[in-house]
Amino acid sequence: MDVGKDKLLEMYRSMQKIRHFESSIRDLAMANEIPGFVHVSIGEEASATGICAALRKTDRITSTHRGHGHLIAKGGRLDKMMAEIFGKRSGYCKGKGGSMHIVDFSLGILGANGIVGAGLPIATGSALAAVIAGRDEVSACFFGDGASNEGTFHESLNLAAIWKLPVVFVCENNGFGEFTPMQTVTSVKDIAVRAQGYGIPGHIVDGNDVMEVYQYATEAVARARAGEGPTLLECKTYRWEGHVVGEQAFLGEEAYRKKTEVEEWKRKCPIIRFHQWCLEGGKISEAELKKIVSETEKELDEAIAFARSSELPDVSEVTDDVYV
Amino acid sequence: MPQLNFIQAINSALAEEMERDPLTFLMGEDVVLGAFGATKGLIDKFGAKRVRNTPISEAGFVGAAVGAAMAGTRPICEVEFASFFYCAFDQVCNQAAKLRYMSGGQARLPITFRAVFGAMGGAAAQHSETVYAQFLSVPGLKLVVPSGPADMKGLLKSAIRDDNPVIVFEHGGLGRLKEEVPAGDHLVALGKAAVKREGKDVTLVAIGAMVPKALKVADKLAKDNVSVEVIDPRTLMPLDEETILGSLAKTNRIVVADEGHLRGGAAADIASMVAEKGFDSLDAPVKRVASLDVPIPFSPPLERAAVADEARIERAIRELLGN
Ligand SMILES: Cc1ncc(C[n+]2csc(CCOP(=O)(O)OP(=O)(O)O)c2C)c(N)n1
């Protein structure tokens, strides 16, 4: 696949932003600086980035409780995301959504979602809206292996298939639903095979290889835009951190997986892999990549400072925005 | 003015609103033929793109309506029997109702849900339920319960134009009821009650299919010189408290009649509002007339025994007046 240098740099920046953002969130949560539960996606940067790189700004995504990465990859602003996670008025949702519910309509981000599997029908409906309105927009739907056992998965794939809706279903298979290994609660080894049941293409994708994700995503998006209907992509990846930040405090260290397993996946780091791939054959110089890292660090410091110094919402705002 | 029944009123509201806005569309189980006739013929006017039979998958297509609304269209989503909402509760209560608030006002959810409810003669518990009370504690929704064809048309048109998720509950027993429906762009505002009959001795708040029953009771009591004021709230969310409390201030006595169950029902909700805000006007305790707290039974005599009826409304009023 022939990919321009700008695109590669954009993808590299996206992955770095996600990694830095999520690491900061983990640290801030451990330091009790942010309220609520937070779920970070360290180790899963390639799937978010590879999918969103194949989308236009006017295309839409739905996301999950582990959504920061998807939002950043779709162009979400770190400062407004951070402020939202701090519960501040300057955040994306004026402090009413928090980590699990960030929305940015201007970027086609229909929202992270606290309900497992809820984004699938919403993305399907967003694709339906494109058909009704006669616009060639595509919707991409991120969800986990756990969500693929919800009824909404079945209902959405069926609906999207019969109506040939422009939607790309992206299962990020990180091996676990909370603390339960996927293979103990899922009837198939590969979620992608479930596509057969709906008569749509399903592909197993190396979710730690951003270029492979991007390639499959580009094909699925083109297919959707051409009116040929949905595709199911299963990106095999792994989450380095716990399901929820701070879980070790009540679970202990090796409650459901061995440290050695985590270490093994860390050696397959999607960012290091992409970094090396970019350097090969002189596609991009080390200095250019380093510059992106330092710019990202700066942007993140600014985002945290912005969130910290922003005001909390006024209690008078509690009744705003229930209805239009 | 044309005479229309409930179903024809729905059909004409849908046709007019779909004519008006090309981004409205209809989806639901068997809407092409129209399971109850309400959507009949719309496919011929608007085509298969805008009139869509969904698979039998309530969570899936209700959720699709949510996504379609967020992405700029105006879905009208039929859930056939209101009890089927239980299969799609997450999408209605966690998604449709909350996404505007949780997004800090970014999302717009102009969805109209339509569903048939109520005891309609041997449909048994899973098809006879009066479901709206289940949504009363879910802020973010609007709940509409029309009692006749004219209101049906006007309220449904307002619901479709509203930018919030609105559920329109259509009583399955009202289908053949005919009345004059104003022609043209007839709109009834959400949140505005109707005084269906004026009176001075007692206020009778009646919801949905209880309204025609309440009017019959009022006619009957008038012969005994009892003057009953019948109020139809028309929407339960928002609720027109002012009209109810205003009527109470005049009559000083109030009965609330609903087909839902007694415990946790819409009558309970209105009664407690009245007790709290209208206490000084009350010459007697607030009375509720509601269905028994049993699943609605199948067998006709049992069904009649379970559901609130005219006799019970009359008895409640007589007890209240001590006659
Ligand atoms: C309907 C519902 N059931 C259960 C939960 C609790 N819960 C939150 S995340 C999660 C695991 C989800 O697993 P998966 O879909 O694989 O996503 P991952 O966390 O692995 O990214 C569960 C069970 C929920 N939020 N919503």
- The percentage of residues in chain B with a pLDDT greater than 90, rounded to a whole number, is 94
- The percentage of residues in chain B with a pLDDT greater than 70, rounded to a whole number, is 100
Residue A1 has pLDDT above 80, yes or no: no
Q: Which two tokens stand for residue A254?
A: 């090796």
Global confidence as pTM:
0.93
A105 near B CB under 8 A: yes
Using alpha carbons, select from B215, B211, B300, B293 the residue that is nearest to residue B260. B293
Q: Which two tokens stand for residue B143?
A: 């709940």
Residue nearest to atom 18 of ligand 1 (CA): A144
Residue A145, ligand 1, Cβ within 6 A? yes
Each residue's pLDDT tens digit, A254-293: 999 999 999 999 999 999 999 999 999 899 999 999 999 9
Q: Is the peptide bond before A35 cis (omega within 30 degrees of 0)?
A: no
- Kindly report the average pLDDT of chain A as a whole number: 97
Q: Which two tokens stand for residue A123?
A: 């993305």
Look at A110 and B95 and tell me if their CB atoms are within 8 Å.
no
Q: Which two tokens stand for residue A186?
A: 């899922």
**B68 vs A103, A126, A323: nearest CB:** A126
| C-alpha separations of B293 from A236, A308, A315, B2, B206 in Å | 51, 53, 40, 40, 19
**B102 vs A93, A120, A154: nearest CB:** A93
Q: Which two tokens stand for residue B222?
A: 């008038």
Residue B121 has pLDDT above 80, yes or no: yes
Neighboring chain A residues of B21 at a CB cutoff of 8 Å: none
Cα–Cα distance, A143 to A265 (Å, whole number): 21
Chain A interface test: which of B90, B106, B109, B190 (most A C-beta within 10 Å): B106
- Which whole number is the average pLDDT over A80-90? 97
Neighboring chain B residues of A152 at a CB cutoff of 8 Å: 59-60, 63
Query: Residue A90 C-alpha to ligand 1 middle, in angstroms?
Result: 28
Residue of chain A whose Cα is closest to the Cα of B165: A323
Q: Which two tokens stand for residue B194?
A: 């109707």
Each residue's pLDDT tens digit, B197-221: 999 999 999 999 999 999 999 999 9
Residue A175, ligand 1, Cβ within 6 A? no
A318 near B CB under 8 A: no
Using alpha carbons, select from A26, A172, A16, A12 the residue that is nearest to residue A99. A26
Chain A interface test: which of B76, B103, B135 (most A C-beta within 10 Å): B103
**pLDDT for position A2:** 81
Each residue's pLDDT tens digit, A294-318: 999 999 999 999 999 999 999 999 9
**pLDDT for position B1:** 74
B57 near A CB under 8 A: yes
Look at A111 and B66 and tell me if their CB atoms are within 8 Å.
no
Q: Which two tokens stand for residue A241?
A: 């951190």
- Kindly report the average pLDDT of chain B as a whole number: 96
Residues 200-219 of A with CB under 8 A from B: none
Neighboring chain B residues of A111 at a CB cutoff of 8 Å: 99, 102-103, 107
Using alpha carbons, select from A289, A140, A132, A296 the residue that is nearest to residue B77. A132
**pLDDT for position A253:** 86
Residue B154 has pLDDT above 90, yes or no: yes
Cα–Cα distance, A91 to B137 (Å, whole number): 27
Residue B323 has pLDDT above 80, yes or no: no
- Non-local (6+) Cβ contacts of B113 within 8 A are B62, B65, B77, B78, B79, B85, B92, B165, B166, B167, B168
Residue A222 has pLDDT above 90, yes or no: yes
Residues 55-84 of A with CB under 8 A from B: 60, 62
Question: What value of ipTM does the predicted structure carry?
Answer: 0.88
Each residue's pLDDT tens digit, B251-285: 999 999 999 999 999 999 999 999 999 999 999 99
In the residue annotation, B186 being an active-site residue is answered as: no
Q: Which two tokens stand for residue B178?
A: 């005919």
| Dihedral angle sign, alpha carbons of residues B62, A160, A152, B57 | positive
Residue A67, ligand 1, Cβ within 6 A? no
Neighboring chain B residues of A120 at a CB cutoff of 8 Å: 63
Cα–Cα distance, B199 to B251 (Å, whole number): 8
